[in-house]
A = this chain, B = another copy of it.
Amino acid sequence: MGRTAGRSPEDTRRALLDAAGEAIRTRGVNATLDEIARHAGVSKGGLIYHFASKDELILELARDLLASFRAQVEGRLDPADTEPGRYTRAYVRALLAPAADEVAVRKAMALITQLTTVPAVAELVDADTRQLNAELHADGLPPDVLTLVIAAADGVSSAPLWGETVDRPAIRQLERRLIQLTRQPAWWQQLPWEE
């Protein structure tokens, strides 16, 4: 048999990556190739046609996730915003914003942690993190404020790892406050010091 449905190879590839993500997120990296393939409406042979090995599939999935996260951040840059901290604000929005793809972004975090068992992926993630951090630190905010804002954003995005579902309104408020902080870094730095 050949191309049965009117689906383009690129669509199949996409479907395979999505299916792999879904499967690995729930079942871990021991998710079967067969399982992934079938979930994408393809046979195992078809999967292998697109991705030579399981490791390659996983590596490609990792690349895809990192790239899409980058795109999320970049997409949330405010063109009208030229003040220091604009990139940090986009970062916060990407991690906290309750858009339709918010779930996707945050679930991706949980997924990546699974993928890092493949050494090549671990390196990839490490390099990407370093790069992202460098960009954030070149954003013009005082380091101590940046540390807080990044930590808070990361914390919220890591919450689903523990199965917890944080309530939306609280996150929205936190988002607004964090962004406000990047505009008034002095506020945080002037927290009165007792003792």
Q: Which residues of A contact B (CB under 8 A)?
A: 27-30, 110, 112-114, 116-117, 122, 125-126, 129-130, 133, 143-144, 147-148, 150-156, 158-159, 161-164, 166, 170-171, 173-174, 177, 180-181, 183-184, 187-188, 191-194
**A194 — which chain B residues lie within 8 A by C-beta?**
180, 183
Inter-chain CA distance A163–B62, complex, in Å, is: 15
Contact present for A162 and B125 (CB under 8 Å): yes
**Residues B117 and A164 in contact, CB atoms below 8 Å apart:** no
CA distance A30 to B28 in the complex (A): 10
Pick from B30, B164, B187: contact of A29, CB below 8 A: B30
Of all chain B residues, which has the CB nearest A129? Answer: B162
Considering the complex, give the chain B residue whose CB is closest to the CB of A128. Answer: B162
Most chain B beta carbons < 10 A, residue from A110, A116, A125: A116
Contact of A170 among B147, B152, B154, B188 (CB under 8 A): B147
Across the interface, A122 reaches (CB within 8 A) one of B116, B122, B158, B163, namely B163
A25–B140 CA distance with the chains assembled, in angstroms: 36
CB distance from A165 to the nearest CB of B (A): 10
Distance between Cα atoms of A183 and B133 in the complex (Å): 30
Sampled A-B contacts (7; CB under 8 Å) = A28-B114, A116-B163, A147-B166, A148-B152, A151-B159, A154-B156, A180-B192
Nearest CB on B from A63, distance (A): 15
Q: Are B174 and A147 in contact (CB under 8 A)?
A: yes
Q: Is the CB of B174 within 8 A of A181?
A: no
A164/B130 in contact, CB under 8 A:
yes
Question: Hey, which chain B residues are within 8 Å of A163, CB to CB?
Answer: 116, 122, 125-126, 129
Contacts of A117 in B (CB 8 A): 27-30, 114
A193 to B187, CA, bound (A): 12
